[in-house]
Amino acid sequence: MNCENLRRVEERIEKACQRAGRKREEVLLLGASKQVPANRLREFFSCGLRTFGESKVQEFLKKYEEFKDLPVDWHFIGRLQSNKVKYILGKVSLIHSLDRDSLLEELQKRAKSLGISQDVLIEVNVGGEESKGGVEPKYLERFLEKVLMSEGVKVRGLMCIPPYKENPEEVRPYFIMLRELREKLESNLKLKLPHLSMGMSHDFEVAIEEGATIVRIGTALFGERV
């Protein structure tokens, strides 16, 4: 078993925290584990990684069953179809991708019937990309107000998947945008949105400098997906 990748990512997180004057505990490392086989996840678990984020419901369910013996903290980070909400509710501690009314309604309905409260992040389409999910920034406050009125759904912050840029410095403005959106919402609506889920393998250090509290890292941990 080789914990080298994890150790290296940890070190980079630590350094980014130091540069930003933040504590290491303020940033959660989530292993973005789509397409990574269960035995490999087990290795990372034994190296100390506890939080995994899956992107496809079917793949998640399979891994969830395989890991029933271990206290893995599962998140759901992919696009979520409303008709699949029922399969993951109660099994993931955080859904990162709430971005529309129909999904909110289904979450509310299912959470209520299970008698649970589901933590969610609202995904924001910071780059205005049609190919991506996420609420447009101009509709964000209105959407958040709806989420706040929904029983059984507890909003914990914002998430974004910015446009891909070779140079991570070019992604910085999108991370700043998400942080500023959070500040504006917190002050307009008098509430706390503790989490900013932003930063992936090639740009997580910049994201940490701009306030990320959850970084979602795939290839830098697990290697290239095949």
| Residue closest to ligand PLP (Cβ) | 218
Side chain identity at 156, as an amino acid letter? Answer: R
Which is nearest to 52 in space by CA: 79, 80, 24, 71? 71
Q: Please say which residue, 156 or 216, places its beta carbon nearer to ligand PLP.
A: 216
Least distance (Å) between residue 221 CB and ligand PLP: 8
User: Which pair of structure tokens corresponds to residue 70?
Assistant: 């271990």
CA distance 154 to 20: 29
Q: Please say which residue, 68 or 126, places its beta carbon nearer to ligand PLP.
A: 126
Least distance (Å) between residue 27 CB and ligand PLP: 15
Residue 219 sits in the site that holds ligand PLP (CB under 6 A):
yes
Binding span for ligand PLP by CB under 6 A among 9-17, 146-154, 188-196, 214-222? 214-222
CA distance 162 to 199: 9
Residue 12 sits in the site that holds ligand PLP (CB under 6 A):
no
Residue 40 sits in the site that holds ligand PLP (CB under 6 A):
no
Least distance (Å) between residue 96 CB and ligand PLP: 7
Residue that is written with structure tokens 């890292």 in the block: 217
Binding flags for ligand PLP, 145-164, as an x/- string (CB under 6 A): ----------------x---
Q: Please say which residue, 116 or 164, places its beta carbon nearer to ligand PLP.
A: 164
Residue 51 sits in the site that holds ligand PLP (CB under 6 A):
no
Q: Where are the alpha helices (DSSP H) in the chain?
A: 4-20, 38-47, 57-66, 85-88, 101-114, 140-148, 172-189, 204-209, 219-222
Residue 217 sits in the site that holds ligand PLP (CB under 6 A):
yes
Q: What secondary structure does DSSP assign to 78-144, as a single string?
A: S---GGGHHHHTTT-SEEEEE-SHHHHHHHHHHHHHHT--EEEEEEE-TT--TTS-SB-GGGHHHHH
Task: By CB under 6 A, name the one of 107, 200, 206, 214 that touches ligand PLP.
Answer: 200
Binding span for ligand PLP by CB under 6 A among 5-13, 36-44, 168-176, 218-226? 218-226
**By the 8 A CB rule, do 89 and 114 touch?**
yes
**By the 8 A CB rule, do 12 and 29 touch?**
no
Which parts of 52-91 interact with ligand PLP (CB under 6 A)?
55, 77-78
Task: By CB under 6 A, name the one of 13, 16, 32, 41 that touches ligand PLP.
Answer: 32
Binding residues (CB under 6 A) for ligand PLP: these are: 32, 34, 55, 77-78, 161, 200-201, 216-220
